[in-house]
């Protein structure tokens, strides 16, 4: 019995290696396939798979499980940071009262009609290797048999996911826990300025007593205090691209995800959230970065800072602690809008 088990393990390992070095060595898509980068940019880009291989690359591993709890394999991807491609395309906003790019949405589509949204901030204020346009995929094959813990019906189905043909190029969002946004066979990347019609209020001192939550087919409602919500405490590093480091601060408030969930925000991967102040300052977050983040998104609507109630710059401030810059933080929050992105 011991000999047969040892032989089985060796055969299983050999079988997995054979799969890797024959069918998957490594997976690549046809060079004629083109990805277009368009929208609010200066330079339209149309890139073949061969073009993508000429950029500096990065790698990321995905253990692919979607929100419906389905396993779709584990792969190591090599690709180009999406940030690199957008920097080459050069962001160019149209006529707008708000020059900063932090309210931009990036929509990625594939040939099957799937569409997911990213925010400018999660691409540019995180490490570049977290979001890739992948041009190769190598399966991470198990090297031991699973028959001692699962039936053949289970482990054979899981093994089949490891040997599936990945459609490239693929959007890889390595920071997401659920991989629904990692769509395959992508064809278009579109940069969109939503240009919201925000009534700008000129104030001697920026302030907002309350904020409104609104969205498509949703009755707007106002929140004047956060006492009915569960509060969290987060330590933030206050550092901006303009004035640099301004110390550590301890903020208390409610996770943005909790407010959006209670507002009835739907689980739609092409949905974004726009948070704004009375003076027109605004920032955009994607559904995915709020609800799919592997490390739990900590975007916080704070009503206390350093153990004191916020009185300056309004009663509520949006903090995004996991950004590498504080530019997306919004003082005197007076509106939170849930928007489903529609391509022009």
Q: Transcribe 278-296 into DSSP letters.
A: TTS-EEEEEHHHHHTBTT-
Class of domain 211-340: alpha beta
Q: Measure the CA–CA gap between 2 and 46, rounded to whole angstroms.
A: 58
Largest pairwise CA distance in the chain: 84
Measured CA angle at 99 (ends 93, 102), to 5 deg: 85
Place of tokens 């690549």: 28
Query: Residue 332, by phi and psi: left (phi above 0), alpha (psi -120 to 50) or beta?
Result: left
Place of tokens 């104030």: 203
This prediction's pTM: 0.86
Domain ranges of the chain: 2-193, 211-340
Sort 128 into a burial class: Cβ within 10 Å, 0-12 / 13-18 / 19+.
middle
Helix or strand holding residue 178 (H, E): none
Measured CA angle at 306 (ends 302, 312), to 5 deg: 60
* Fold exhibited by the domain 2-193: Sulfite Oxidase; Chain A, domain 2 (3.90.420)
Q: Tens digit of pLDDT per residue, the chain (344 long)?
A: 344 444 445 444 444 444 444 444 344 444 466 899 999 999 999 999 999 999 999 999 999 999 999 999 999 999 999 999 999 999 999 888 899 999 999 999 999 999 999 999 999 999 999 999 999 999 998 767 666 676 666 666 767 777 899 999 999 999 999 999 999 999 999 999 988 776 777 777 889 999 999 997 788 999 999 999 999 999 999 998 888 888 999 999 999 999 999 999 999 999 999 999 999 999 999 999 999 988 777 999 999 999 999 988 889 999 999 999 999 999 999 999 999 998 86
> Which residue pairs from 62-65 have beta carbons closer than 8 angstroms and sit at least 24 positions apart in sequence?
62/172, 62/174, 62/179, 62/182, 64/161, 64/179, 64/182, 65/178, 65/179
Q: Which of 131, 71, 75 is nearest to 286 (CA)?
A: 131
| Domains 2-193 and 211-340 belong to one CATH topology | yes
């Amino acid at each position: 019995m011991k000999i047969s088990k040892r032989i089985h393990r060796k055969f299983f390992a050999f079988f997995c290696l054979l799969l890797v070095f024959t069918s998957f060595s490594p997976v690549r898509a046809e060079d004629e396939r083109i990805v277009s980068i368009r929208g609010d940019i200066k330079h339209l880009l149309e890139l073949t798979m061969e073009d993508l291989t000429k950029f500096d690359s990065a790698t990321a591993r995905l253990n692919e499980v979607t929100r419906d709890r389905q396993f779709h394999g584990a792969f190591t991807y090599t690709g180009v940071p999406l940030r690199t491609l957008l920097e080459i395309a050069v962001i160019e906003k149209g006529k707008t009262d708000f020059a900063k790019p932090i309210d931009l949405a990036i929509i990625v589509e594939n040939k099957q009609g799937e569409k997911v949204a990213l925010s400018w901030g999660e691409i540019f204020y995180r490490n570049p290797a977290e979001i890739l346009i992948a041009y190769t995929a190598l399966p991470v094959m198990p090297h031991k048999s699973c028959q001692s813990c699962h039936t053949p019906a289970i482990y054979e189905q899981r093994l089949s996911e490891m040997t599936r043909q990945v459609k490239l190029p693929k959007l890889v969002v390595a920071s997401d826990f659920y991989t629904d946004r990692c769509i395959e066979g992508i064809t278009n990347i579109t940069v969109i300025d939503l240009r919201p019609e925000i009534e700008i209020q000129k104030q001697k001192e920026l302030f907002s007593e309350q904020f409104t939550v609104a969205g498509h087919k949703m009755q707007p409602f106002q929140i004047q205090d956060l006492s009915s919500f569960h509060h969290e405490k987060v330590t933030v590093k206050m550092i901006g691209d303009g004035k640099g480091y301004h110390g550590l601060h301890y903020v208390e408030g409610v996770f943005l995800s909790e407010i959006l969930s209670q507002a009835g925000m739907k689980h739609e991967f092409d949905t974004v959230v726009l948070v704004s102040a009375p003076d027109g300052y605004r920032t955009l977050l994607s559904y995915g970065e709020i609800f799919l983040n592997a490390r739990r998104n900590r975007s916080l609507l704070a009503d206390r800072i350093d153990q004191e109630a916020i009185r300056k710059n309004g009663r509520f401030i949006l903090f995004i602690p996991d950004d590498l810059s504080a530019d997306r933080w919004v003082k005197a929050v007076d509106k939170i809008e849930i928007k489903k992105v529609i391509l022009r």
